[in-house]
Amino acid sequence: MSDFEWALTAALNSFFEKEGIDAIAYRLKQSRFVSQVMDILVDSRHPEYYLAIECKSLDARKAKALYFKQHFSSAAGGHQLARETEFLTRSGRQGILAVELRHGVGKPRTAHFIPWGQVYQSYDAGRVGLTREEIEVNPALERTGGAYEIARLDIERISGYYDLAVDQDAHQDALEDIAPEQ
């Protein structure tokens, strides 16, 4: 999995350099007995690039879903998704779940960015995980020569997702309040 984290960190830094964006992506050091906040952090003055990314890599031939119990840890501080959501809330970072699907020897891997709000809403609703279809509905990152490439749209489409979901619920409630009874 660390290969995916390194590849994604390199792709982000390449994107920032190519686009002239003042931002830097870096991996946090992992330790066996210490919980890690997130896999990759991005520091930037631009809110849409102030990110925290959790990476998961799945064998797409075997895994039908990304399961919250199997693929995320539970420690003294609670479930990994709850701890990371608290970190995102306190730090003000945009959260992304980056999922790499490995399709077997000779077949290209794909990586998908999933907005953290979508992931946490599924977890909070008591669902067991995200299906491969729910992961793959998010556009795959481009790959050139085996390396991932990030485009501005890959990040902009997930920025503010959670706020939009909350606003949409408030909008729906308001519509129900003013709708005529039948």
The residue type at 132: R
Write down the residue that tokens 């997930």 correspond to: 158
Enumerate the β-bridge partners of residue 23. Answer: 44
Q: State the residue for tokens 């729910």.
A: 134
- DSSP-H helix ranges across 20-138: 80-91, 116-124, 132-136
Tens of pLDDT, residue by residue, the chain (182 residues): 469 999 999 999 999 999 999 999 999 877 666 667 899 999 999 999 999 999 999 999 998 999 998 898 887 668 899 999 999 999 999 999 999 999 988 888 999 999 999 999 999 999 999 999 999 999 999 999 889 999 988 888 877 554 434 444 443 443 344 444 43
Query: Cβ(49)–Cβ(33) under 8 Å?
Result: no
Tokens for 182? 């039948």
Torsions phi, psi for 79 (to 5 deg): -70, 145
Residues 40, 52 contacting (CB under 8 angstroms)? yes
* Domains with residue ranges and CATH for the chain: 2-178 (3.40.1350.10)
**Cβ atoms of 51 and 42 closer than 8 Å:** yes
Tell me the pTM: 0.83
